[in-house]
Amino acid sequence: MSNRLPIALVIPWYGPDTVGGAEIHARRLAESLLAGGVPIEVLTTCGRDSFAPRNEAYYPEGLSYVNNVPVRRFPLRRPGAPPFFEQHHELLAGLPPFPAQELALFDELQVESDALYAYIQQHRHDYTFVFMPYPYAATFWGTWLVGERAFLIPCLHDEPYARYSTYALVFHRVQRVLFNSEAERDLAMRLYRLPAERTAVIGEGVDMQWQGDAARFREKYGLKAPFLFYAGRRDPGKRTPFLIHAFCEYKVRRGGPLRLVLSGKNPVVIPEAFAGEVIDLGYLDEQDKHDAYAAATLFVQPSVVESFSIVLMEAWLQGTAALVNGECEVMRRHILCSGGGLAYSGYDEFEAGLDYLLPRPALRREMGRRGRDYVRQHFRWEDVVQRFVAAVYGE
């Protein structure tokens, strides 16, 4: 390990209070690489996460340590300050023109730190750079600065701007793209026609130590009825509006004591008539979340924008069967490979899936057991580290 250049993991936000799937993935990856003897330093901004104002500092500038991982934070761009690349036009040589509509969305996703770009440029020969996720300015401009010294963990979803030429340039400029799943790699190869040798599936790890306590969750939150559980971001891309609507429609048609329990960061709209049956617990701490997985009758994952779905793996780790949106190829394949639940497409299949699974507790337990075995077999952090080392260092 001592002869290797250290990894510089570049991500817009990083910290113990940072929320987001890619951000939590980055934190656990960095900690696991460090534990595996891989020299690593995180390069990030002083911002908190995508749920906070993007021009406000949350963490102090400079070098600090998060669970022993060295984290070097750079200030966000001050309003009115001259952008780094306007001061260094020579670094833009060879950059192709991009359509105006792409640049407009690209501007919305920017989390800018000119000091970060300056540091990357100054130290471009001192690190092996790994950028994640793909849509943000730090990834676009960082990979432009270091080129084939860069690796990319894209956390790619099948979404409209994945087809933009700005992002195609990033995928082709890096030395290798490291994917969270086979389905994610297949999507990237269709979109960008990547050579297979410049791709690798390293997967994402799951923290195996969590033990959920179903009785504790039910007692704490006063839940005696059977319930569906969803954890994660609540927005149209994650299809939480569909989930709420579909559950309410199911209750109108079937009645019964079933509840829908939601957890996550951002707000949701619950129809007034179902206020007692759709229960929003907000953001749960890790133990409460795993207790909820263990207590749930079924875990539901309606999202179509997943490159891995850590919440699905966490639910399976607690032995809970899942009903997932089969329009997301990543999750459909997880279901097919694991036998840990069913996939649906549209309301009719959602309804049929509930009708089939709810009266069959033995089948749900068997599916949950299969899901747990799948997670334990494929997604240990130690194995992810080994695949990362092989993909990045060629070992």
Give the CATH number for residue 280. 3.40.50.2000
Q: Examine residue 56 and state whether it is found in any structural domain, yes or no.
A: yes
Q: How many domains are contained in the chain? A: 2
Percentages of the chain per state (helix, strand, coil), in multiples of 5: 45, 15, 40
Same domain, 32 and 167: yes
Query: What secondary structure does DSSP assign to 272-325, as a single string?
Result: GGGTTTEEE--SPPHHHHHHHHHH-SEEEE--S--SS-HHHHHHHHTT--EEEE
Same domain, 344 and 267: yes
Nearest by Cα to 128 from 12, 63, 41, 197: 41
Same domain, 98 and 111: yes
Q: Examine residue 246 and state whether it is found in any structural domain, yes or no.
A: yes
Q: Examine residue 271 and state whether it is found in any structural domain, yes or no.
A: yes
Nearest by Cα to 20 from 275, 264, 269: 264
Which parts of the chain sit beneath pLDDT 70? Answer: 1-3, 103-110
Model pLDDT, residue 52: 82
- Record the pTM: 0.90
Using CA atoms, how far residue 108 sits from 49, 86, 309, in Å, is 15, 19, 25
CB contact at 8 A, 37 and 389? no
Same domain, 108 and 197: yes
Same domain, 121 and 242: no
Same domain, 58 and 95: yes
Between the two ends of the chain, the Cα-to-Cα distance in Å is: 11
Alpha-carbon gap, residue 271 to 291, rounded angstroms: 26
Residue 104: Cβ-neighbour burial (10 angstroms; 0-12, 13-18, 19+):
exposed
Give the tens place of pLDDT for each residue, 167-221: 999 999 999 999 999 999 999 999 999 999 999 999 999 999 999 999 999 999 9
CB contact at 8 A, 341 and 367? yes
Q: Examine residue 90 and state whether it is found in any structural domain, yes or no.
A: yes
Give the tens place of pLDDT for each residue, 262-304: 999 888 999 999 999 999 999 999 999 999 999 999 999 999 9
Same domain, 260 and 184: no
Cross-strand partners of 298:
228
Same domain, 314 and 330: yes
- Which residue range(s) make up the domain with 35? 7-205+380-393
Same domain, 271 and 348: yes
Using CA atoms, how far residue 65 sits from 14, 39, 41, 72, 120, in Å, is 11, 14, 10, 9, 19
Same domain, 120 and 268: no
Same domain, 366 and 290: yes
Same domain, 149 and 176: yes
CB contact at 8 A, 318 and 297? no
Q: Examine residue 1 and state whether it is found in any structural domain, yes or no.
A: no
Q: Examine residue 2 and state whether it is found in any structural domain, yes or no.
A: no
Model pLDDT, residue 200: 97
